[in-house]
Amino acid sequence: MKHLVQTFVKGITRENPLMILMIGLCATLAVSTQFQGAVFMGLAVIFVLTMSNAIISIFRRFIPNEVRIPMFIVVIASFVTIVDLVMKAFVPSVYAFLGIWIPLIVVNCIILGRAEAFAYHNGLPAAIADGLGMGVGYTIVIVVFAFVRELFGSGAVKFFGATLLALPSWYAPPSVVLLFPGAFILFGFFLAGWRALVSRPGGGGGCS
């Protein structure tokens, strides 16, 4: 049990996919202009990551080493298709905002990376704990980052039309925070802050 908790926590702190391993960055920078979209992106990643980790862990003894990558991709793509269709049906506004980023979860390095590095070599409970931990670690970062960007970029954070937090009306939001350069620059400072306060990288990581 203690071991599972450790596996879960390391996904949030010591091996946080975004801040330490630096994988899966594309979607993070792109969808963090909107708090609501980021929340759903995080949920989608948690779902796909946990389910694909679980399935790959269950079938790991039957997956031949030579064709493992295509098989991982098929498993991941099936779960992404589920997310794609469910979001299109139930939250069309979020689906329209996320757009190409839903199909692109398939090639999100976090998911394939965890399948390859963890789920393929570990039992079901550990694989689920790892998937949840990595997913939650991803979600925390993307949601906080999107909250900051939407608050300072548009002056108020909204969730399905309800205003969660608004800055006083004298604040004139600089649009650069919501534009592409702003995302890169803010993320750079975010990274520096996280590494100073929460955890530092111990080397390794990285993909494609």
Partner 1 sequence: MSVLSQMALLFIGAALVNNMLLTRFIGLCPFFGVSSSMSTSVGMSLAVVFVMTLASGATWMAWKFVLSPLGVGEFLYIPAFILIIAALVQFVEMYLRKASPVLYRAMGIYLPLITTNCAVLATATEAAKPGFFKMNIPLGPSLGLGEALVYTLGVSVGFGFALLTFAALRERLEAAPVPAALRGAPIAFISAGLLSFAYVGLAGWFGL
Q: Of residues 45, 106, 119, 129, which one binds partner 1 by CB under 8 A?
A: 106
Closest CA to 87 of 79, 35, 155: 79
Question: Least separation, in Å, of the C-beta of 166 and partner 1?
Answer: 27
The yes or no reply on residue 104 touching partner 1 (CB under 8 A) is yes
Mark 56-95 with x for binding to partner 1 (rule: CB under 8 A) and - for no binding. Answer: -------------xx--xx--xx-xx--xx----------
Which DSSP symbol is given to 13?
T
Alpha-helix residue ranges (DSSP H) falling in 21-108:
25-31, 35-58, 68-90, 92-98
Looking at the Cβ atoms of 5 and 192, the one nearer to partner 1 is 192
- Among residues 23 and 126, whose Cβ is nearest to partner 1? 23
Cα 188 to Cα 15: distance, rounded to the nearest angstrom:
18
- 182 binding partner 1? (CB under 8 A): yes
Residue 117 lies near partner 1 (rule: CB under 8 A): no
Beta bridge partners of 34: none
By CB under 8 A, is residue 184 in contact with partner 1?
A: yes
Q: How far is the CB of 153 from partner 1 (least distance, A)?
A: 14
Size of the site for partner 1 (CB under 8 A): 44
Site residues, partner 1 (CB under 8 A): 22-27, 29-30, 69-70, 73-74, 77-78, 80-81, 84-85, 99-100, 103-104, 106-109, 112, 179-185, 187-189, 191-192, 195-196, 206-208
